[in-house]
Structure 1
Amino acid sequence: MKKIAIACDHAGFDYKEIIKKHLETHYEVKDFGTFSKDSVDYPDFVHPSANAVESGECDFGILICGSGQGVAITANKHQQIRCALCWMPELAELARKHNNANMIALPARFIASELAVDIVDKFLGTDFEGGRHEKRVAKISCC
Protein backbone atom coordinates (compact mmCIF):
# COMPACT_ATOMS: atom_id res chain seq x y z
CA MET A 1 0.00 0.00 0.00
CA LYS A 2 1.42 3.36 -1.03
CA LYS A 3 2.00 5.90 1.71
CA ILE A 4 0.95 9.51 1.15
CA ALA A 5 2.21 12.52 3.12
CA ILE A 6 -0.30 15.33 3.51
CA ALA A 7 0.16 18.77 5.03
CA CYS A 8 -1.49 22.17 4.97
CA ASP A 9 -1.73 25.55 6.57
CA HIS A 10 -4.86 27.01 8.18
CA ALA A 11 -6.37 27.95 4.78
CA GLY A 12 -6.04 24.36 3.57
CA PHE A 13 -7.23 22.60 6.70
CA ASP A 14 -10.77 21.76 5.52
CA TYR A 15 -9.48 20.45 2.17
CA LYS A 16 -6.82 18.39 3.91
CA GLU A 17 -9.48 16.66 5.98
CA ILE A 18 -11.65 15.96 2.92
CA ILE A 19 -8.73 14.63 0.86
CA LYS A 20 -7.37 12.58 3.74
CA LYS A 21 -10.73 10.89 4.29
CA HIS A 22 -11.00 10.17 0.55
CA LEU A 23 -7.51 8.66 0.37
CA GLU A 24 -7.65 6.49 3.48
CA THR A 25 -9.67 3.81 1.68
CA HIS A 26 -6.80 3.02 -0.74
CA TYR A 27 -3.64 4.52 0.78
CA GLU A 28 -1.86 4.87 4.07
CA VAL A 29 -1.94 8.60 4.85
CA LYS A 30 0.55 10.32 7.14
CA ASP A 31 -0.85 13.66 8.30
CA PHE A 32 1.82 16.26 9.05
CA GLY A 33 -0.71 18.92 10.08
CA THR A 34 -1.82 21.53 10.70
CA PHE A 35 -4.60 20.17 12.86
CA SER A 36 -6.91 23.19 13.11
CA LYS A 37 -7.89 26.42 11.37
CA ASP A 38 -5.68 28.47 13.72
CA SER A 39 -3.15 30.62 11.86
CA VAL A 40 0.19 28.84 11.37
CA ASP A 41 3.42 29.12 9.39
CA TYR A 42 3.17 26.61 6.52
CA PRO A 43 6.91 25.77 6.36
CA ASP A 44 6.56 24.14 9.79
CA PHE A 45 4.36 21.47 8.16
CA VAL A 46 5.75 21.40 4.63
CA HIS A 47 9.37 20.65 5.54
CA PRO A 48 8.56 17.49 7.57
CA SER A 49 6.23 16.20 4.84
CA ALA A 50 8.82 16.91 2.12
CA ASN A 51 11.47 15.16 4.24
CA ALA A 52 9.21 12.10 4.41
CA VAL A 53 8.84 11.98 0.62
CA GLU A 54 12.50 12.75 0.02
CA SER A 55 13.64 9.97 2.37
CA GLY A 56 11.24 7.40 0.91
CA GLU A 57 9.17 7.13 4.08
CA CYS A 58 6.23 8.30 1.95
CA ASP A 59 5.75 7.67 -1.76
CA PHE A 60 4.02 10.96 -2.63
CA GLY A 61 2.93 14.18 -0.94
CA ILE A 62 -0.04 16.50 -1.08
CA LEU A 63 0.22 20.08 0.15
CA ILE A 64 -2.59 22.60 0.52
CA CYS A 65 -2.63 26.31 1.30
CA GLY A 66 -4.66 29.29 0.15
CA SER A 67 -2.83 29.85 -3.14
CA GLY A 68 -0.72 26.71 -3.29
CA GLN A 69 2.31 28.89 -3.99
CA GLY A 70 3.88 29.06 -0.53
CA VAL A 71 3.74 25.32 0.08
CA ALA A 72 5.07 24.55 -3.43
CA ILE A 73 7.97 26.99 -3.10
CA THR A 74 8.88 25.56 0.31
CA ALA A 75 8.71 21.91 -0.80
CA ASN A 76 10.82 22.63 -3.87
CA LYS A 77 13.71 23.80 -1.66
CA HIS A 78 14.31 20.08 -1.04
CA GLN A 79 16.69 18.66 -3.66
CA GLN A 80 14.73 15.49 -4.36
CA ILE A 81 11.27 17.07 -4.37
CA ARG A 82 9.43 18.01 -7.52
CA CYS A 83 6.27 19.72 -6.32
CA ALA A 84 3.79 20.95 -8.93
CA LEU A 85 1.14 23.58 -8.30
CA CYS A 86 -2.04 22.11 -9.80
CA TRP A 87 -5.49 23.64 -10.23
CA MET A 88 -6.85 21.21 -12.80
CA PRO A 89 -6.48 17.43 -13.26
CA GLU A 90 -4.66 17.79 -16.57
CA LEU A 91 -1.82 19.67 -14.87
CA ALA A 92 -1.49 16.92 -12.26
CA GLU A 93 -1.41 14.31 -15.01
CA LEU A 94 1.33 16.12 -16.93
CA ALA A 95 3.30 16.80 -13.75
CA ARG A 96 3.48 13.04 -13.16
CA LYS A 97 3.94 11.97 -16.81
CA HIS A 98 6.55 14.51 -17.83
CA ASN A 99 8.14 15.81 -14.62
CA ASN A 100 7.89 12.80 -12.32
CA ALA A 101 6.42 15.13 -9.68
CA ASN A 102 6.38 13.50 -6.27
CA MET A 103 4.33 16.18 -4.52
CA ILE A 104 1.50 18.47 -5.55
CA ALA A 105 0.31 21.77 -4.15
CA LEU A 106 -3.36 22.72 -4.23
CA PRO A 107 -4.80 26.26 -4.00
CA ALA A 108 -7.72 25.86 -1.58
CA ARG A 109 -8.99 29.41 -2.09
CA PHE A 110 -9.27 28.99 -5.86
CA ILE A 111 -10.70 25.51 -6.50
CA ALA A 112 -13.69 23.56 -5.19
CA SER A 113 -13.02 20.68 -2.81
CA GLU A 114 -14.47 18.21 -5.32
CA LEU A 115 -11.99 19.42 -7.93
CA ALA A 116 -9.17 19.10 -5.41
CA VAL A 117 -10.08 15.43 -4.91
CA ASP A 118 -10.18 14.89 -8.69
CA ILE A 119 -6.74 16.48 -9.03
CA VAL A 120 -5.32 14.25 -6.30
CA ASP A 121 -6.83 11.15 -7.91
CA LYS A 122 -5.35 12.06 -11.29
CA PHE A 123 -1.95 12.74 -9.71
CA LEU A 124 -1.83 9.46 -7.82
CA GLY A 125 -3.26 7.46 -10.72
CA THR A 126 -0.72 8.62 -13.30
CA ASP A 127 2.70 7.06 -13.88
CA PHE A 128 5.89 8.76 -15.03
CA GLU A 129 6.41 8.14 -18.76
CA GLY A 130 10.18 8.07 -18.53
CA GLY A 131 11.83 7.98 -21.94
CA ARG A 132 12.77 11.42 -23.23
CA HIS A 133 11.63 12.96 -19.94
CA GLU A 134 14.13 11.04 -17.79
CA LYS A 135 17.17 13.07 -18.82
CA ARG A 136 15.27 16.32 -18.24
CA VAL A 137 14.13 15.29 -14.78
CA ALA A 138 17.68 14.20 -13.96
CA LYS A 139 18.84 17.79 -14.64
CA ILE A 140 16.39 19.43 -12.20
CA SER A 141 18.31 18.97 -8.95
CA CYS A 142 21.14 21.44 -8.27
CA CYS A 143 23.31 18.85 -6.49
Structure 2
Amino acid sequence: MTVIALASDHAGVDLKSFLADELKARGLDVLDLGTNGPASVDYPDYGYALAAAVKDGRAERGVAICGSGIGISIALNRDPAIRAALCHNGLLARLSRQHNDANVLVLGARMIGLEVARDCLAAFLDTPYEGGRHAGRVSKLSCPPPAGGPAGSSC
Protein backbone atom coordinates (compact mmCIF):
# COMPACT_ATOMS: atom_id res chain seq x y z
CA MET A 1 0.00 0.00 0.00
CA THR A 2 1.15 3.53 -0.72
CA VAL A 3 2.42 5.44 2.30
CA ILE A 4 2.36 9.24 2.41
CA ALA A 5 4.35 10.93 5.19
CA LEU A 6 2.95 14.05 6.82
CA ALA A 7 4.86 16.57 8.92
CA SER A 8 4.09 20.03 10.22
CA ASP A 9 5.08 22.56 12.78
CA HIS A 10 2.59 23.99 15.27
CA ALA A 11 1.04 26.30 12.65
CA GLY A 12 0.14 23.37 10.42
CA VAL A 13 -1.37 20.90 12.89
CA ASP A 14 -5.01 21.48 11.91
CA LEU A 15 -4.30 21.38 8.18
CA LYS A 16 -2.19 18.24 8.64
CA SER A 17 -5.07 16.53 10.41
CA PHE A 18 -7.48 17.54 7.64
CA LEU A 19 -5.13 16.20 4.95
CA ALA A 20 -4.52 12.97 6.88
CA ASP A 21 -8.26 12.35 6.71
CA GLU A 22 -8.23 13.09 2.96
CA LEU A 23 -5.41 10.60 2.42
CA LYS A 24 -7.12 7.90 4.47
CA ALA A 25 -10.35 8.45 2.51
CA ARG A 26 -8.31 7.65 -0.62
CA GLY A 27 -7.19 4.39 0.95
CA LEU A 28 -3.62 5.54 1.51
CA ASP A 29 -1.54 4.83 4.59
CA VAL A 30 -0.38 7.88 6.55
CA LEU A 31 2.93 8.15 8.35
CA ASP A 32 2.36 11.08 10.74
CA LEU A 33 5.70 12.51 11.81
CA GLY A 34 4.19 15.25 13.99
CA THR A 35 3.84 17.68 15.52
CA ASN A 36 0.45 17.10 17.06
CA GLY A 37 -0.27 20.10 19.24
CA PRO A 38 -0.13 23.90 19.46
CA ALA A 39 3.15 24.13 21.42
CA SER A 40 5.79 25.98 19.43
CA VAL A 41 8.27 23.69 17.64
CA ASP A 42 11.02 24.17 15.09
CA TYR A 43 9.91 23.41 11.51
CA PRO A 44 13.38 22.23 10.36
CA ASP A 45 13.15 19.24 12.72
CA TYR A 46 9.94 18.10 11.05
CA GLY A 47 11.20 18.84 7.55
CA TYR A 48 14.31 16.76 8.15
CA ALA A 49 12.21 13.89 9.57
CA LEU A 50 9.98 13.90 6.51
CA ALA A 51 12.97 14.03 4.16
CA ALA A 52 14.46 11.01 5.91
CA ALA A 53 11.18 9.06 5.64
CA VAL A 54 10.97 9.64 1.87
CA LYS A 55 14.68 9.07 1.32
CA ASP A 56 14.81 5.78 3.23
CA GLY A 57 11.62 4.43 1.65
CA ARG A 58 9.27 4.50 4.62
CA ALA A 59 7.06 6.78 2.50
CA GLU A 60 6.59 7.09 -1.24
CA ARG A 61 5.88 10.82 -1.03
CA GLY A 62 5.34 13.47 1.61
CA VAL A 63 3.29 16.50 2.55
CA ALA A 64 4.88 19.19 4.72
CA ILE A 65 3.19 22.17 6.33
CA CYS A 66 4.31 25.22 8.24
CA GLY A 67 2.82 28.70 8.56
CA SER A 68 4.03 30.05 5.22
CA GLY A 69 5.46 26.84 3.78
CA ILE A 70 8.75 28.56 3.11
CA GLY A 71 10.80 27.44 6.10
CA ILE A 72 9.92 23.77 5.97
CA SER A 73 10.44 23.82 2.20
CA ILE A 74 13.98 25.12 2.65
CA ALA A 75 14.69 22.45 5.26
CA LEU A 76 13.39 19.67 3.00
CA ASN A 77 15.28 20.79 -0.08
CA ARG A 78 18.62 20.63 1.74
CA ASP A 79 18.47 16.86 1.09
CA PRO A 80 19.42 16.05 -2.53
CA ALA A 81 16.90 13.18 -2.60
CA ILE A 82 14.02 15.57 -2.00
CA ARG A 83 12.19 17.70 -4.51
CA ALA A 84 9.81 19.69 -2.32
CA ALA A 85 7.43 22.09 -4.06
CA LEU A 86 5.67 24.90 -2.21
CA CYS A 87 2.28 25.17 -3.90
CA HIS A 88 -0.52 27.71 -3.54
CA ASN A 89 -2.96 26.16 -6.00
CA GLY A 90 -3.74 22.96 -7.87
CA LEU A 91 -1.99 24.10 -11.04
CA LEU A 92 1.33 24.51 -9.27
CA ALA A 93 0.91 21.12 -7.61
CA ARG A 94 0.17 19.50 -10.98
CA LEU A 95 3.15 21.16 -12.67
CA SER A 96 5.44 20.24 -9.76
CA ARG A 97 4.66 16.59 -10.49
CA GLN A 98 4.60 16.76 -14.29
CA HIS A 99 7.77 18.77 -14.80
CA ASN A 100 9.78 18.42 -11.58
CA ASP A 101 8.83 14.97 -10.24
CA ALA A 102 8.21 16.60 -6.85
CA ASN A 103 8.15 14.00 -4.09
CA VAL A 104 7.02 16.37 -1.34
CA LEU A 105 4.11 18.81 -1.47
CA VAL A 106 4.60 21.84 0.78
CA LEU A 107 1.71 23.99 1.94
CA GLY A 108 1.49 27.19 3.97
CA ALA A 109 -1.26 26.73 6.55
CA ARG A 110 -1.62 30.49 7.01
CA MET A 111 -1.62 31.13 3.26
CA ILE A 112 -4.34 28.86 1.88
CA GLY A 113 -7.68 27.43 2.95
CA LEU A 114 -8.85 23.86 3.26
CA GLU A 115 -10.38 23.61 -0.23
CA VAL A 116 -7.23 24.90 -1.93
CA ALA A 117 -5.15 22.50 0.17
CA ARG A 118 -7.45 19.64 -0.89
CA ASP A 119 -7.06 20.65 -4.56
CA CYS A 120 -3.27 20.78 -4.20
CA LEU A 121 -3.20 17.37 -2.56
CA ALA A 122 -5.39 15.82 -5.27
CA ALA A 123 -3.24 17.26 -8.06
CA PHE A 124 -0.05 16.14 -6.32
CA LEU A 125 -1.32 12.59 -5.86
CA ASP A 126 -3.06 12.16 -9.22
CA THR A 127 -0.50 13.67 -11.59
CA PRO A 128 2.26 11.48 -13.01
CA TYR A 129 5.75 12.71 -13.84
CA GLU A 130 6.14 13.26 -17.59
CA GLY A 131 9.85 12.55 -17.84
CA GLY A 132 11.05 13.16 -21.38
CA ARG A 133 12.49 16.64 -21.82
CA HIS A 134 12.30 17.17 -18.04
CA ALA A 135 14.38 14.11 -17.05
CA GLY A 136 17.82 15.64 -17.51
CA ARG A 137 16.88 18.73 -15.55
CA VAL A 138 15.34 16.73 -12.73
CA SER A 139 18.42 14.51 -12.46
CA LYS A 140 20.51 17.65 -11.94
CA LEU A 141 18.38 18.56 -8.92
CA SER A 142 19.66 15.49 -7.06
CA CYS A 143 23.25 15.82 -8.19
CA PRO A 144 24.84 19.13 -7.22
CA PRO A 145 27.68 20.44 -9.37
CA PRO A 146 31.28 20.04 -8.31
CA ALA A 147 33.16 23.27 -7.69
CA GLY A 148 33.28 25.09 -11.00
CA GLY A 149 31.62 22.30 -13.00
CA PRO A 150 28.20 21.85 -14.51
CA ALA A 151 25.41 20.24 -12.46
CA GLY A 152 25.14 16.51 -12.93
CA SER A 153 28.75 16.05 -13.96
CA SER A 154 29.84 14.42 -10.69
CA CYS A 155 27.16 11.71 -10.46
Aligned to 2:20: 20
Equivalent residues, number: 143
* Rg (Cα) greater in structure: 2
Aligned to 1:112: 113
Higher relative contact order (CA 8 A, sep 6+): 1
Aligned to 1:53: 54
The residue type equivalent to 1:101 in the other structure is A
Which sections of structure 2, spanning at least 5 residues, go unmatched?
145-154
Moved >6 Å (runs of 4+): none
The residue type equivalent to 2:64 in the other structure is L
Instruction: Give the superposition deviation at 1:44.
Output: 1.5
C-alpha distance in structure 1 between counterparts of 2:112 and 2:49, whole Å:
25
1:73-110 C-alpha deviation (Å, 9 max, x unpaired)? 00000111000000000000000000000001101111
Q: Match of 1:7, SS?
A: strand
Mapped pair 1:103 → 2:104: yes
Mapped pair 1:2 → 2:2: yes
Identity of aligned residues (%): 47
1:4-58 C-alpha deviation (Å, 9 max, x unpaired)? 0000001111000000011112210000000101111011211111101012221
C-alpha distance in structure 1 between counterparts of 2:57 and 2:135, whole Å:
19
Output the aligned Cα RMSD: 0.9
C-alpha distance in structure 2 between counterparts of 1:48 and 1:41, whole Å:
12
C-alpha distance in structure 1 between counterparts of 2:136 and 2:103, whole Å:
17
Aligned to 1:67: 68
Instruction: Give the superposition deviation at 1:140.
Output: 1.1
Aligned to 1:32: 33
The residue type equivalent to 2:18 in the other structure is I
C-alpha distance in structure 2 between counterparts of 1:103 and 1:13, whole Å:
17
C-alpha distance in structure 2 between counterparts of 1:65 and 1:139, whole Å:
27
The residue type equivalent to 1:18 in the other structure is F
Which sections of structure 1, spanning at least 5 residues, go unmatched?
none
1:103-135 C-alpha deviation (Å, 9 max, x unpaired)? 011011111112101101110110000111111
TM-score normalised to structure 2 length:
0.90
